[in-house]
Copies of this chain bind each other. A is one copy, B any other.
Amino acid sequence: MLNQDQLLCLTQALSPKSVAIIGATKEKGKVGYSIIESLILGGFKGKLFPIHPRHEEILGIPVFSDLSLIKEPIDLAIIALNEQKTLQMLEECGRFNVKGVISVAGGFSEVGERGRKLQEQMAAIANDWNIMLIGPNTLGAINSDAKLNATFWPLNLDEVGNISLITQSGGVGQMVGFKMQDEGLAINKMIGLGNRAKLDFDDLLQYLGSDPTTSVVGVFLEGTEKARSFVEVARQVVPKKPVVALKVGRSKLVQEMSVTHTGSMAGSYKMYQDIFTQANIIPASSVPELVSVCKALSLAPLPKGDGIAVVTPTAGPSLILVDLLDSLGCRFYPFEQQTLVKMKELFANVPVVLKNPLDAAAAGYSAEVYSRLVDIVLEDPKVDILIALSIEHKNRRFPAEELIQLSQKHQKPILVYYMGNIEVNLHQHTCQQGGIPLYCSPEEAAWGAGGLVRYSAIKKEMGVING
């Protein structure tokens, strides 16, 4: 856990005015090149100082041969050198008062005893100089607010969302990043922890908890020795913003592998599930689940209770949806008498079974009838949240605008499960701009709804008033 000075220091390092890239290179394909590309592509507005003994410029940016030649304060240094040189340069960063350092190199605790010792030395240097050290063995960090892409994953940061991520694996960070892009979401911040020589889950969660533009925190975790401290921080953060966590390592094989990966014992899967429950962290069991839950929490208002309704023009897919919702704490209460009366009127002579979930069959193909039906269902006091299922069909119109209005009118979340090919960008964009998360699979829609219902319950339990 960080003290106030350290938190300020980390905040400055991740919203830097100046960045040094130690180990910068002109060799395309090398990490020290990709990082500079990333910083440029991300649109960083501060000063960049590539460091290389011989180059004069890289990608048009003047190069310094040594850190000591830079005559202004450095907020963040990224070290992309091998493990031995990394230690030397970390020491030098300390001497020149660099606030934060990201260390990319592998070859530390993940490769055995020799690496473990190196990592201890590294931690000692960071502690001596009080450097906010991220890594080693990390992809780096992204802060879209500051247009900072300090990773070797060149990525455009034009859009800024409200979901931030702490990840023990850079690769999984990228999985989440790609999936979020596919889902029409933009990352706010992403921090790859790597081997956690100094900064750990508790520190970064504290940072994101205090970050005004982060509304939802996602976590990917293999294991940490600071689980207790992580829980303590989570308890402080969860009343303010939801924390959703994915833990890998259900199988024994993976528990063994994690030791090699980031030098950590993954810890028992069961133990972490218990920890999540204690700290009111919402668990996810896959990357799509993690992203789907974060998506709903990022876009939609919270429901007041656990009463869910499904409106669909086709029964089969809704069965798949219900199978999942049932296990995610969503409840299908019967419609009230008045709701049934209004529906009877709407359907007149069409044979529709008036139950929740409601399969309107062919009667649901018209956008007008479908919207009126959603209106009737949302008027029901037992319905707190609704999933609207729709199928792409060239002869039918999807009532995106009507659904947005209805969600606002009733102040209740609507989620769309849209059956069609994966490129539904137009509807996705319209719906999501209007506060309606759109999903392309029943699993994802169910996870999203489950996450909303769960966080609403957590807030009630904690005595936090919604809104």
Contacts and interface: CB of A to CB of B under 8 A. Distances in A.
Nearest to A182: B422
A355 B167 CA distance: 23
A305 interface: no
A299 to B, nearest CB: 19
Given A31-B362, A394-B154, A261 B178 contact: no
A247 to B, nearest CB: 10
A208 B403 CA distance: 42
Contacts of A257: 315, 318-319, 322, 355, 357
Interface string A291-304: 00000000000000
Interface string A256-269: 01101110000000
Given A315-B171, A326-B254, A396-B29, A287 B320 contact: yes
A154 B391 CA distance: 12
Nearest to A418: B178
Residue in A171, A248, A286, A393 with the greatest tally of chain B CB atoms within 10 Å = A171
Given A106-B362, A353-B111, A261 B175 contact: no
Interface string A378-392: 000000000000011
B251 A34 contact: no
17 contacts: A29-B365, A34-B393, A34-B395, A106-B361, A153-B393, A154-B395, A169-B317, A171-B314, A171-B318, A174-B419, A220-B316, A248-B316, A252-B326, A253-B326, A257-B355, A287-B441, A288-B443
A319 B258 contact: yes
Contacts of A393: 34, 153-154
Q: Size class of A's contact patch?
A: 35 or more
B391 A174 contact: yes
A420 interface: yes
Given A29-B366, A169-B315, A181 B323 contact: no
Interface string A148-167: 00000110000000000001
Interface in A382-436: 391-396, 419-423
Interface in A229-269: 248-254, 257-258, 260-262
Contact of A395 (B29, B167, B316): B29
A100 interface: no
B316 A261 contact: yes
Contacts of A443: 286, 288
Interface string A341-362: 0000000000101010101011
A222 interface: yes
A181 B395 contact: no
A332 interface: yes
Interface string A163-199: 0000111111111001001100000000000000000
A3 interface: no
A94 interface: no
A291 to B, nearest CB: 11
A316 B168 contact: yes
Nearest to A83: B351
A233 B152 CA distance: 55
Nearest to A394: B154
Given A261-B359, A362-B106, A319 B34 contact: no
A107 interface: yes
Nearest to A395: B29
A110 interface: yes
A288 B441 contact: yes
A28 interface: yes
Interface string A128-151: 000000000000000000000000
Residue in A175, A181, A182, A315 with the greatest tally of chain B CB atoms within 10 Å = A315
B29 A314 contact: no
Given A106-B362, A396-B29, A319 B357 contact: no
A248 to B, nearest CB: 5
A103 to B, nearest CB: 14
Interface in A298-336: 312-320, 322-323, 326-327, 332
Nearest 3 interchain pairs by C-beta: A169-B316, A171-B314, A251-B326
Given A351-B106, A395-B29, A419-B178, A314 B170 contact: yes
